[in-house]
Amino acid sequence: MGEEAIVRVVLFVTVVGSGILMLWMAQAAASGRLGRNRLAGIRLPVTMASDSAWLAAHVAAKRPTQWAGFCSIASAVPSVLPVPMPIVLTSILIGAAGMLTFALYGASVGSRAARALADGD
Protein backbone atom coordinates (compact mmCIF):
# COMPACT_ATOMS: atom_id res chain seq x y z
CA MET A 1 0.00 0.00 0.00
CA GLY A 2 1.41 3.36 -1.02
CA GLU A 3 2.02 6.26 1.32
CA GLU A 4 -0.87 8.31 -0.10
CA ALA A 5 -3.25 5.36 0.29
CA ILE A 6 -2.30 5.04 3.95
CA VAL A 7 -2.89 8.76 4.49
CA ARG A 8 -6.30 8.48 2.82
CA VAL A 9 -7.30 5.52 5.00
CA VAL A 10 -6.16 7.27 8.19
CA LEU A 11 -8.05 10.44 7.21
CA PHE A 12 -11.18 8.46 6.37
CA VAL A 13 -11.17 6.45 9.61
CA THR A 14 -10.41 9.49 11.77
CA VAL A 15 -12.96 11.83 10.20
CA VAL A 16 -15.74 9.23 9.95
CA GLY A 17 -14.98 8.11 13.51
CA SER A 18 -15.32 11.65 14.83
CA GLY A 19 -18.60 12.05 12.96
CA ILE A 20 -19.98 8.81 14.39
CA LEU A 21 -18.86 9.86 17.86
CA MET A 22 -20.67 13.18 17.43
CA LEU A 23 -23.85 11.40 16.31
CA TRP A 24 -23.64 9.02 19.27
CA MET A 25 -23.09 11.86 21.74
CA ALA A 26 -26.03 13.83 20.34
CA GLN A 27 -28.33 10.85 20.78
CA ALA A 28 -26.96 9.73 24.15
CA ALA A 29 -27.00 13.19 25.73
CA ALA A 30 -30.49 14.04 24.42
CA SER A 31 -31.88 10.73 25.70
CA GLY A 32 -30.31 11.13 29.15
CA ARG A 33 -27.88 8.20 28.76
CA LEU A 34 -24.92 10.61 28.79
CA GLY A 35 -25.28 12.46 32.05
CA ARG A 36 -23.44 15.52 33.26
CA ASN A 37 -19.70 14.99 33.04
CA ARG A 38 -16.47 16.90 32.55
CA LEU A 39 -15.50 15.29 29.25
CA ALA A 40 -18.29 15.27 26.65
CA GLY A 41 -21.30 17.43 25.91
CA ILE A 42 -22.18 21.09 26.32
CA ARG A 43 -20.17 21.90 29.41
CA LEU A 44 -21.10 25.46 30.29
CA PRO A 45 -21.93 26.75 33.78
CA VAL A 46 -25.63 26.98 32.89
CA THR A 47 -25.78 23.39 31.58
CA MET A 48 -23.70 21.97 34.43
CA ALA A 49 -25.95 23.59 37.06
CA SER A 50 -28.38 20.67 37.22
CA ASP A 51 -29.35 17.42 35.55
CA SER A 52 -32.51 19.04 34.17
CA ALA A 53 -30.51 21.92 32.64
CA TRP A 54 -28.06 19.42 31.12
CA LEU A 55 -30.88 17.41 29.56
CA ALA A 56 -32.80 20.47 28.31
CA ALA A 57 -29.66 21.80 26.63
CA HIS A 58 -28.88 18.52 24.89
CA VAL A 59 -32.44 17.91 23.76
CA ALA A 60 -32.44 21.38 22.17
CA ALA A 61 -28.98 20.87 20.65
CA LYS A 62 -29.59 17.38 19.29
CA ARG A 63 -30.39 18.31 15.67
CA PRO A 64 -27.47 20.76 15.13
CA THR A 65 -25.11 18.30 16.82
CA GLN A 66 -26.29 15.55 14.49
CA TRP A 67 -25.66 17.82 11.52
CA ALA A 68 -22.13 18.35 12.84
CA GLY A 69 -21.63 14.59 12.72
CA PHE A 70 -23.10 14.33 9.23
CA CYS A 71 -20.74 17.11 8.01
CA SER A 72 -17.78 15.18 9.31
CA ILE A 73 -18.83 11.90 7.70
CA ALA A 74 -19.69 13.51 4.36
CA SER A 75 -16.36 15.34 4.22
CA ALA A 76 -14.49 12.02 4.41
CA VAL A 77 -16.05 10.58 1.25
CA PRO A 78 -13.50 12.06 -1.19
CA SER A 79 -10.68 10.34 0.68
CA VAL A 80 -11.88 6.99 -0.70
CA LEU A 81 -12.55 8.31 -4.22
CA PRO A 82 -10.00 8.57 -7.02
CA VAL A 83 -9.61 12.34 -6.71
CA PRO A 84 -6.44 14.39 -6.20
CA MET A 85 -5.21 14.82 -2.63
CA PRO A 86 -5.81 18.61 -2.58
CA ILE A 87 -9.52 17.91 -3.16
CA VAL A 88 -9.52 15.41 -0.30
CA LEU A 89 -7.87 17.90 2.06
CA THR A 90 -10.18 20.74 0.97
CA SER A 91 -13.21 18.55 1.59
CA ILE A 92 -12.01 17.62 5.06
CA LEU A 93 -11.25 21.24 5.94
CA ILE A 94 -14.70 22.35 4.76
CA GLY A 95 -16.26 19.48 6.69
CA ALA A 96 -14.33 20.43 9.82
CA ALA A 97 -15.53 24.02 9.49
CA GLY A 98 -19.11 22.79 9.06
CA MET A 99 -18.76 20.47 12.03
CA LEU A 100 -17.43 23.27 14.21
CA THR A 101 -20.15 25.68 13.05
CA PHE A 102 -22.98 23.24 13.79
CA ALA A 103 -21.43 22.20 17.12
CA LEU A 104 -21.11 25.83 18.23
CA TYR A 105 -24.64 26.59 17.05
CA GLY A 106 -25.88 23.56 19.00
CA ALA A 107 -24.06 24.77 22.11
CA SER A 108 -25.69 28.18 21.69
CA VAL A 109 -29.17 26.69 21.27
CA GLY A 110 -28.57 24.34 24.19
CA SER A 111 -27.34 27.03 26.53
CA ARG A 112 -30.40 29.17 25.71
CA ALA A 113 -32.66 26.20 26.53
CA ALA A 114 -30.87 25.57 29.82
CA ARG A 115 -31.02 29.28 30.69
CA ALA A 116 -34.75 29.38 29.88
CA LEU A 117 -35.27 26.39 32.17
CA ALA A 118 -33.31 28.09 34.96
CA ASP A 119 -35.26 31.33 34.49
CA GLY A 120 -38.54 29.42 34.68
CA ASP A 121 -37.70 27.82 38.04
**Contact predicate 20/68, CB 8 Å:** no
Predicted confidence (pLDDT) per residue in 100-113, tens digit? 999 999 999 999 99
* Domain ranges (residues) in the chain: 3-120
Predicted confidence (pLDDT) per residue in 45-87, tens digit? 999 999 999 999 999 999 999 999 999 999 999 999 999 999 9
Torsion 76-78-82-87 (CA) sign = negative
CA dihedral angle for residue 24, residue 78, residue 89, residue 12, rounded to 10 degrees: 40
